[in-house]
Structure 1
Amino acid sequence: MRRKLDHIDLKILRELQADGRITNQALSEKVGLSARPCLERVRKLEKDGYIVRYQALLDVRRLQSCVQVLAQISLERQGRESRQLFERTLRDTPEVIECFEVSGEHDYIAKLVCRDIAAYQELTQGWIDDPQLGVSRVTSNIVLRPVRDFGSVPIFEEELA
C-alpha cells in the first residue's frame, strides 16, 4: 500500500532525480525545509520504497565501443514456468540493461549493450537454440543514436489527496 505524498515529498523526488549527489543542505534549501526534517523525509521515502537506489549513469558511447540493440522477443510457451526461466536468464545476462514484459505481438522488449553485432548475434542465437528457454523469435533494432536517454520519471500532481 502506498501513502499519499505531499508537495514537499514530490519536490524532494524531483530534485533527487535531477541530482542524486546533491547534499542534504542544498536539497533542503531547494525544497524549503531545514536540513534535519529534509533528511528525515528522504530516509522515509527510501524506507517506503519510493527511492529504490542511487547510481551513476554512464555514457556508454564515451566508455567503450559497443552496439546497443532493442530486441523484441517472443516465446513459444506462455506458461508461468517458461516465463520465469526466461526472465531469470535475462536478469543473469549482463548485456541486458533493461527488459520489459509487454503486451502485443511480442512478449518482451529488452535493451542490450554488446561488444559488437557478432556478440549480439551469438547471445540471441544462444537463446533461440536453448530448447528450455523456448524463444521462438527475436526481432532486432540497432540503436543508431539516442534521442533521449535516462529521462526522469514524471511525477503527476493529481496523485495528491
Structure 2
Amino acid sequence: MKKDHLDSYSTRILDALQADARLSVQDLSERIGLSSTPTWKRLKSLEQSGYIKRYTAVVDRQKVGLGNCVLAEVNLSKHVENVVEAFEEAVRNCPAIIECNSTTGQADYIMKVLTTDIAHYDDFLHKVIFKLPGVSEIRSSVVIREVKANTPVPLDHLT
C-alpha cells in the first residue's frame, strides 16, 4: 500500500487507532463506516505495508516517577562512520533517552531524556552521556512544562 493508495477509509483507520489502539475490528469498522471484513483486510494491509509499526500504550511519565524531562543538544568530536555508529548504538541501548534525532544547526543530535529529578539527570550526564562515544559537547535545557506532547501523526494532508 503506497501513500498514493491511502484512501479515506485507510486514513480513518489510522486516525482511529492513533486515538485508541485497543479498538476491536467491530468498533473500528463502526467508527469508519465500513463492515468488519473489509476493515480487517485494510488493517492487515496497513500493518504488513509498514504504515502501522506497532501498538503501544502511552504511559504518564509523571505517574511513574519520571518528572524531569531534559532536551540535550549533543555534538560529536568526530564525524567518522565508526564514531557515529558507536554513538547511535549506545543511544539506542539507553532507556532514559526516549528520543534522539540527528539534526542540522548547532547540534549534531537532540535527545529527549527522562529522569526522576535534576540530581538524577546530573548523575546520568556523568555516568552515561559524557561516556557516550565521540561526545564533545552537551547543552541541556530542562523542560519546565510540556505545552504539547502528542503522539498521533497528523494525516490531514492525505485527504
TM-score by length of 1: 0.89
How many residue pairs match? The answer is: 158
The CA distance in 2 between the partners of 1:2 and 1:106, in whole Å, is 34
1:67–1:113: 8 Å Cα contact kept in structure 2?
Answer: yes
Instruction: Give the aligned partner of residue 68 of structure 2.
Output: 67
Cα deviation 1:102-142 (Å, max 9, x = unaligned): 11110111111112223222322345643x71111111111
Does residue 133 of structure 1 match 2:133? yes
Q: In 2, are the aligned partners of 1:128 and 1:136 still within 8 Å (CA)? A: no
1:108 is matched with which residue? 109
Runs of 5+ consecutive residues of structure 2 not aligned to the other structure: none
Tell me the percent identity: 37
- Note the alpha carbon deviations across 1:60-116, whole angstroms, 9 max, x for none: 112215311111111111112111100111111110111111111101111111122
Alignment of 1:1-161 (within 5 A): 2-3=2-3, 4-64=5-65, 66-127=67-128, 129-130=130-131, 133-157=133-157, 159=158
After the TM superposition, list the runs of 4 or more consecutive aligned residues in structure 1 that deviate by more than 3 angstroms.
Answer: 126-130
Greater shift after overlay, 37-46 or 116-125?
A: 116-125
Aligned amino acid, residue 149 of structure 2: D
Local SS of the residue matching 2:121: helix
Q: CA RMSD in A?
A: 1.9
What is the Cα deviation at residue 151 of structure 1?
Answer: 3.4
Work out the CA distance in 2 between the residues paired with 1:54 and 1:40.
17
Aligned equivalents of 1:110, 1:11: Cα separation in 2: 32
DSSP 3-state at the match of 2:100: strand
Structure 1 unaligned runs (5+)?
none
Are the counterparts in 1 of residues 26 and 36 from structure 2 also a CA contact under 8 Å?
Answer: yes
